[in-house]
Structure 1
C-alpha cells in the first residue's frame, strides 16, 4: 500500500512538471586547467566516455590520473536532455555520499586543533531534541560515527521520508528535519558491535563540526579545506538555489522501464548536510582526494586514523568494498587498494577512487539512476581500471 501511494504521488508530480527553457550559458562552467587535451591518451579516454554514454547513460563526467602523474578529464552526453545541452567536464556534479570524505576531514581538522577527541562520546559535544530522541545517540563515540559502527538508525530508510520528499518537491531539509526520521527507531545494533552504513552518522558529524567550530559546515569546509587547495567549484550548504542555476539535471527511472525523467524535485531532500551535500567538478574532486591522501589537508596522525581499517561483515555486499576506514571506504580491486567513496542520490551516481601505490585516480559521475545504469556503472569502472592499468 505504501509503495502504491508513493507511485501515485510521483506520477502526480511528473504530470505537473514544467520543463524550464534553458540555454548552454545558463549552466555554470568552471575554469579547468588546459591539461586534458595534452594527455597522450586523450582521444582514447574520450572515445571511452562516448562509448559508455551510447550504452544508455544520459551523461558521463570523468577524471583520470594515470600512473605517469598526468591528468585527463572529459564528458559526454547531456547536462539537460529537454534543452539538448551537452554535458561538459567544466560542469559540477552532485557527488552525494562521496561528500562524507570531506565531512570526516573536517572532523579531523578539529582533532588536529585539539577541539575534538574521537574517543569521546558525541554527547560530550552535542545536546538537544535529536540527541534525546535518537536511540543510543548519547552513547556513541565520534569514532563509531566516522566508521559506521554506531548502529544508529539510518534516517534514509523509511518510506515516510520518501513520501515527505515528494509531497514537498524542491525542498531542502535541515539536519534537524532529516534526523526526525530516526526518532524512536530501534538501532541496528549496539554501539561498536559491527558495521552498518547509516547516513544519520554523518548528519550528526556535520552538526558536530558546526557546534565545535562555530561556523556552518559549508563555511568551515570552504575556509579550512577547499579554498586553501584552490578548488573554486566546490559548493556545500543549505542554500540550494545553485542547483537550479547552473548544475546539470539528474534523471531517474521512476517507472522501472528505463524511461528517465528529471528528478530535481526529489534530490533536493538528500543534499545540504554532512552525509551528502557537495557539488563539484570531477577535476576538483580528484584534486581534493589526492591532496588529502598526500597529507596536505590534515596531519599525518589524523590521516593514518582516517585510513585505519577493518574488514566488513561477511554478509556485506559492496562493489569491491571489503574494508572500511574512518571516512574512507576501502576497495580491494584487481589492481590494488583504492581509497575513496561511492555516492548515489535520486539522479546521480558517483565513484571516486585513488590508488596511493600507483598514483592512479579514477573518478566518474553519471547524471542518471536506473537498474541498467547501475550495471553500466560497475562495468564502466572495471573497463576503465583495465584500460588505465593494462595500457
Structure 2
C-alpha cells in the first residue's frame, strides 16, 4: 500500500473516531467548549448560569491592576436574592493550603518535624492504621501515605461524619492502599490526621493558629473555620442535582469570600505569607493552588505564573456524575482566555 493511501485511511479512521467520541461526551460540555468566547468575564458568568449553575462568583487579581469581583445567578434562589461577589462560600479542600502553611510554620519553629511518623505523633493509631510507624508527616502532606480515604466510604456524602472519631472509624483497621511513599493518591484522611496532630502539639484548635499566623497578618477578616461561626445569610446557597434542598447549613469546614481566598493565594505565591526559611520548606512539601468540592460547592484557586494572575472561581451547583465539575474546568479556562485577550488588546 502506498503512503498516500495509508494517509487517507488513517485520516478517515481519526475522523470517524472523533465523530464517534461525540456520542460519549455530554452535549452540555461540548456546547460550553465550542461557543464563541464572550467579550467579558461577566458575560461568561451569565453564560455559566445558562449552562445550569445556580450561582457563580469570580475574583480576579492581576498584577499591576485593581482586583475585580464578578457574580451571576442566585445567592439564594428560594428567596430570589441575586448572587453576591462578597458571599461566604464553602472552600472545601482549598483549606489544605492553609493547613500546609500552618504545618510549615510549625516545622520552621521546631514544633513539628516532617520526618517524624504518625506513630510518633498519634501512637494510639499503631495497629489501627497500617504502616503508622513509617508514614511520615511529609508523606501525609503530600498524599503519599497510602492511608485509605475516609470520604470514599459508601454513601459518605449522604450521611457525612461530624467528628474526628467518626471519620477515623471509617478507615481504622483497613489495609493500606499502597506502601508509604510509593504512589500519590489524594486522601482526605491525611489532613484529618494532620489537623489532629497540630491540635495536639499546639494545645488548642489549629484554626486559632491559622488566624494568628496567616489570616491576621494578611488582613483576611472574611475567612472562618466553620459555618457555625458565620451569619448563615452571608453564605451562598449550594445545590446538588437530584437533591431538592439548599445545602448551605451543612458544616464542611472553612468558609471564605473569593476575595479573601484570592489574597491568600497571592501571598502564598509571592511569599509574603512566609517568614525566614518557611517558603523553602513549603515549596518542598506542597502545591501553590488548589480545587475544592463538597456537595453544592465547587471552588477553584488558581495562580497563573506566566501572567502573574490569581483567579478564584466559585460554582454553587454540583451533580452525582461530576459533569458540572468538568464544565467548570472548561469555564475557568475560558475566563482566563477572556482576561488575557482583553489585556492583549489594550
In the superposition, the TM-score normalised over structure 2's length comes to 0.81
How far residue 241 of structure 1 moved from its aligned partner, in angstroms, is: 6.0
Residue range with higher mean Cα deviation, 48-57 or 179-188 = 48-57
In the alignment, which of 318, 336, 342 is matched to residue 369 of structure 1? 318
Conserved in 2, the CA contact under 8 Å of 1:112 and 1:298? Answer: no
Q: 1:63, 1:142 → 2: CA distance? A: 33
Q: Which has the larger radius of gyration?
A: 2
After superposition, the C-alpha distances for 1:330-385 in whole angstroms (9 at most, x for unaligned) are: xxxxxxxxx30000001100110112343111110111102442232011111012
CA distance in 2, matches of 1:306, 1:356: 17
Give the CA deviation at 1:299: 3.5
d(CA) in 2 for partners of 1:131, 1:216: 24
**Deviations along 1:123-143, whole A, 9 cap, x unmatched?**
222233x45422223321011
In 2, Cα distance between equivalents of 1:375 and 1:288 = 25
2:56 paired residue number: 60
Q: What is residue 284 of structure 1 aligned with on the other side?
A: 260
Q: Following superposition of structure 1 onto structure 2, how do residues 196-235 of structure 1 map, counting pairs within 5 Å?
A: 196-235=185-224
Question: What is the correspondence of 1:307-326 to structure 2 with a 5 Å cutoff?
Answer: 307-308=283-284, 326=285
- 1:161/1:181 contact within 8 Å kept: no
Aligned pairs, how many?
A: 302
Cα shift at 1:285:
0.3
- Tell me the equivalent position of 1:327: 286
CA-CA distance at 1:305 after TM superposition: 3.5
Shift of the alpha carbon at 1:179? 1.2
Match of 1:45 among 27, 35, 41: 41
Q: Tell me whether 1:190 sits opposite 2:179 in the alignment.
A: yes
1:347 paired with 2:296, answer yes
Cα distance change of structure 1 residues 131 and 251 upon mapping to structure 2, 3 Å threshold = farther
Structure 2 unmatched ranges of 5 or more: 1-38
Question: Given the superposition, is the C-alpha separation of residues 138 and 240 from structure 1 closer, same or farther in structure 2, using an over 3 Å criterion?
Answer: farther
Structure with greater helix percent? 2
Whole-Å separation in 1 of the counterparts to 2:231 and 2:283: 32
Point out where structure 1 has 5 or more consecutive residues left out of the alignment: 1-42, 166-171, 272-276, 309-325, 329-338
Q: 2:242 maps to which residue?
A: 254
Change (3 A) 1:225 1:87: same
**Contact persistence 1:156–1:199 (CA under 8 A):** yes
Tell me the residue number matched to 2:22.
none
The equivalent of 1:117 in structure 2 is 113
Q: Are 1:151 and 2:146 counterparts? A: yes
The structural deviation recorded for 1:212 is 1.3
Confirm or deny: 8 A CA contact 1:126 1:211 kept in the other structure: no
Provide the alpha-carbon RMSD of the alignment.
2.2
SS in 2 for 1:344: strand
Structure 1 residues 190 and 364, CA, compared in 2 at 3 Å: closer, same or farther? same
Give the C-alpha shift of residue 246 in structure 1: 3.0
Name the stretch that deviates more: 195-204 or 242-251. Answer: 242-251
Question: 1:94 corresponds to which residue?
Answer: 90
TM-score where L is the length of structure 1:
0.72
Distance 1:160-1:390 versus aligned 2 partners, 3 A rule: closer
Shift of 1:102: 0.3
SS in 1 for 2:230: helix
In the alignment, is the contact (CA less than 8 A) between 2:267 and 2:273 conserved in 1? Answer: yes
